[in-house]
Structures are given as structure tokens and as C-alpha cells.
Amino acid sequence: MKERRSTLERVGRFIRQKPLGAFGAFIVLAMAFLAIFADLISPYDPTEVHPEFMKKPPSWAFPFGTDGAGRDQLSRVIYGSRISLLVGFLSVIFGTMLGAFLGIISGYFGGNVDLIIQRLMDMILAFPILILALAIVAMLGASLANVIVALAIVIMPGVSRVVRGSVLSIKENQYVEAARTVGVKELRMILVHIFPNVTAPIIVLATINLGTAIITEASLSFLGLGPPPPTPTWGAMLSGGRAMFEKTPWLAIFPGAAISLSVLGFNLFGDALRDIWDPRLRGEGR
């Protein structure tokens, strides 16, 4: 009972101190709810064709209208959240894990190891995120798995650089020097004394990168390099609606709004977590 009360108090404090962050968290939870229960919430099958209702404007029967094949836009937007969350979470998990591993190894061992890893990260960072992701997917082929791989690769360098900087600071602390003096092995040193102290920036980076992953996946789908049709993705829906925007604006407005709202939610929530966990920002309210 005390633990439950303590959790509720922390949630209430977070809402009071970071209202924008709480709003972002609400958007993220709502998006997750739609993705998980899409089968129950969606009024139609997202791939079901209704030839007699092609390009119908929003109505009671079709709140978001229909596309050129007569498919319900609301159902496709709801199911599109599944793709966005799946790609976002998997790419961020893989990219963050690999970037954190390389950052810890680079910062802790230093020397030639640090030099080689950081020059590799610099090579990747030299390319704009979308251009690099576009090149990787173009080489590997358009598929959901390849989009996840591409996004994980573009996320990795930024995480590596931040984690490396944290490790360089942490390994100079006295408790690390004391552990090294008593003969603590390298693996135990990393797992017990280094990694727990870099988890906060890793979580913050992962949260913020989710927004980047979602908008990059939408961009790839917009360019035709995302999951193949008829899989509903927000980027592909936006691409299909742009050619007929003057006559059927709802085909682009609703998926575009879904992309913007989801990215806004993750960015607001990530910024709030950063403000809370960064000692330099704790005194600044947002």
C-alpha cells in the first residue's frame, strides 16, 4: 500500500512540476493504447476495400474519410501506430544498446580502442540521418526489418558519444579509483561501477530518439522505402494523399497530424526526463 501511494505521489509531483512532460507522456500512453488494442478500436479492417465509398470525405460512417481504394482512413491511422511504435521501439532498443556498449568500451579503455570507435562514429555522424537511413534501406531492400536496422545504425553514434563522455567523467571518481586499487576486474568494474551511473542519460536519449525514429520511418515510407503495401503506415498514407491534396485533403491531414502528435509526445516526455535527471537543470521549471 505504501509503495502504491509513493508511486502515485511521484506521478502527481511529475505532473505538477512538468506539465508539458506529463502531456507528452499522455500522448505516448494513448498511442500505445491504440497500437495494442487496434483490433478492438478500429471500426474496419485497414486493408478492407469499399469500392462504393472511394475518396469519401469525413462522415459518421468514416470519421477520417476514405482513400482512393475506399479503405477507412481512421482504421489505417490506428493500425499505423503499430508500425510506428514497433519500428521506433525496436530500432531505439538496438541502436541504444549498441551505442551504449561502444560508448562504455570507448570511454573506459581509451587509447587506440577509443580512437578507432570514435572515428567510426564520426564517419556515421558525417551523414544526415535521413540520407544515411535512405542509403542503407536502398542497399538492403525495402522491408520492416531493414528499416529497423537502418534506424538503429543512425541512432547508435549519438548515444555512443554521450555515453562515452559520461564514462570519461565517472571513471575519474574516487570510488572507481579505489575499486581499481583493490584489484576489481575490468568486467565487474564496468557492470557494477560504470554502467549503473550512465543508465539515466541512456534512458533519456532512448526516449528522445523514439521521436526521431518515428519521423524517420515515416519519411522512408513516404519515399516508398518502408513496409510494402497494403501495410498501413503513416508515411505511405501521407505520400498517397499529397498528389490529391486539393481535392481530398483529409488523406494527408490525418496521417500528418498523427506523425506530428506522436513526435511531439516523445520529445516533450524525453525533455522532461532530461530536466529531472540532469542535476544542472533540476532547478529550471518547464
What is the per-residue pLDDT for 156?
Answer: 93
What average pLDDT is seen over the chain?
84
What is the per-residue pLDDT for 251?
Answer: 85
- The answer to whether 56 and 68 are in contact (CB under 8 A) is no
**For residue 230, cis peptide bond before it (omega within 30 degrees of 0):** yes
What is the per-residue pLDDT for 48?
Answer: 83
- Provide the CB-side half-sphere exposure for 234 (13 A, CA): 27
- The answer to whether 237 and 80 are in contact (CB under 8 A) is yes
Which single residue is written with the C-alpha cell 520492416? 144
CATH topology of domain 2-167+200-281: MetI-like fold (1.10.3720)
Distance of alpha carbon 122 from alpha carbon 217, whole angstroms: 23
What is the per-residue pLDDT for 281?
Answer: 45
What is the per-residue pLDDT for 2?
Answer: 58
Angle at 66 between CA 233 and CA 254, to 5 degrees: 50
Chain segment 9-46, per-residue pLDDT in tens: 777 777 788 888 889 889 999 999 999 998 899 888 88
What is the per-residue pLDDT for 4?
Answer: 63
Choose among 267, 286, 266: nearest CA to 276: 286
Cα-based torsion angle of the residue sequence 204, 209, 214, 218 in order, rounded to the nearest 10 degrees = 160
Cell of 188: 565487474
Distance of alpha carbon 160 from alpha carbon 30, whole angstroms: 31
What is the per-residue pLDDT for 171?
Answer: 81
What is the per-residue pLDDT for 286?
Answer: 42
- DSSP states along 188-227: HIIIIIIGGGGHHHHHHHHHHHHHHHHHHHHHHHHTT-SS
**Phi/psi at 244 (nearest 5 deg)?**
-120, 30
N- to C-terminal Cα separation, the chain: 31
Strands (E), the chain: none
What is the per-residue pLDDT for 140?
Answer: 87
Chain segment 46-69, per-residue pLDDT in tens: 888 888 888 888 888 888 888 888
* Residue 280 DSSP label: G
- The answer to whether 124 and 157 are in contact (CB under 8 A) is yes
Which single residue is written with the C-alpha cell 476514405? 66
Question: Which residue ranges of the chain lie beneath pLDDT 70?
Answer: 1-5, 243, 278-286
Angle at 15 between CA 11 and CA 18, to 5 degrees: 125
Cell of 63: 470519421
Distance of alpha carbon 225 from alpha carbon 217, whole angstroms: 9
Which single residue is written with the C-alpha cell 538503429? 152
User: What percent of the chain is modeled with pLDDT above 70?
Assistant: 94
Choose among 163, 176, 246, 145: nearest CA to 209: 163
